[in-house]
Amino acid sequence: MSVFCLVHGSSQNASGWDLLVPELEKLGHSTIRPSLPTDTPDASASAYARVIADSLPADASDVVVVAHSASGIFLPLVPTLRPVSRIVYLAAAIPQIGTSFLAQVRADPSVMNPAWLGKNPVSDDNVAREFLFHDCSDDVTRWALTTRSLMMAIRAMTEICPLTEWPRVAASYIVCADDRTIQPDWSRRAARERLNVDPIELPGGHCPYVSRPADLARVLTETL
C-alpha cells in the first residue's frame, strides 16, 4: 500500500490531519505528517520542499505527497529532491514558472476570494469559522480551532518560482466546490492548464480533511 505524506498549509499545523489519518489507515495506507517551519519567513520554497523530502522514508517506493493550500507552492519541488509516485494538490496554490505566487494573485483576481485576502484565521476565530470550517459540525470546529498555527512563508510567496520545467511525475488536483479561500473556478482552470489534468471534485469547503475525512480518504485512494 501507499505512504501518504500529508503537508499542512499556512494556517494549521500537522495535527490538522488527525481525522484523515485513521481513515487512510482503514484503507491500508500509512501516513507521514511533516511539520513545516513557522518561524523562518525568509525560507525559500526550496527550503520548505527540503523539509518535506527529508521526512520521507528512504525505503518507501510508493509515496504520495499531498499538499494543502499554500503548500502547493512547495509541492512540485519535492520530486526534484526525492522520487515520489504522485503529487496531489488539495485546494492548493499552483506555482507558475517565471513569476511569484504573489505576482500571480495581483495579476489575476480570480485566484483568491477577495473577501479572504488580508484575513488572519489564526488570530480570529470568526474568520476561521467563516473561511475554513464553515461546513464542519460545531464539535469538529471547536477541535479544528486548536490546530491553528501561522506559517509565514513570505519569501516563498514573493520569490520567482525556482522551477524551470514541471517535474515528470503523476499529478492530481482536488477542488473543493465551496472553497471560500482559493476560488474553485481558478483551481479547475489552473489544474487543466498547468498540470494537464482534469480536477477531482469534492463538495464542501477549504479543509475537507476536517469536514469530510472519509470522503477525502476515498478520493485520495482512487487517485493511485
Rounded average pLDDT per 10-residue block, the chain, 224 residues: 96 98 98 95 97 94 96 98 97 97 95 96 98 98 98 96 96 98 98 97 98 98 88
For the chain, the residue count is 224
Pairing of strands 86-90, 170-176: parallel
User: What are the C-alpha distances in Å from 77 to residues 19, 52, 66, 135?
Assistant: 27, 10, 13, 32
* CB neighbourhood size of 158 (10 A): 11
- pLDDT value, residue 169: 97
Residue 91 exposure: Cα atoms within 13 Å on the Cβ side: 28
What is the per-residue pLDDT for 1? 86
- Quote the longest CA-to-CA distance of the chain: 45
For residue 223, the model assigns a pLDDT of: 84
Q: Which residues contact 164 (CB under 8 A, 6 or more apart)?
A: 97
| Domains observed in the chain | 3-222 (3.40.50.1820)
Distant-in-sequence contacts of 115-119, Cβ < 8 A, 24+ apart:
115/180, 116/180, 116/181
Instruction: Output the nine-digit C-alpha cell for 63.
Output: 509515496
List the alpha helices (DSSP H) in 74-135: 101-107, 125-131
User: In this predicted structure, what is the pLDDT of residue 191?
Assistant: 98
Q: What is the pLDDT of residue 224?
A: 77
| pTM confidence score | 0.97
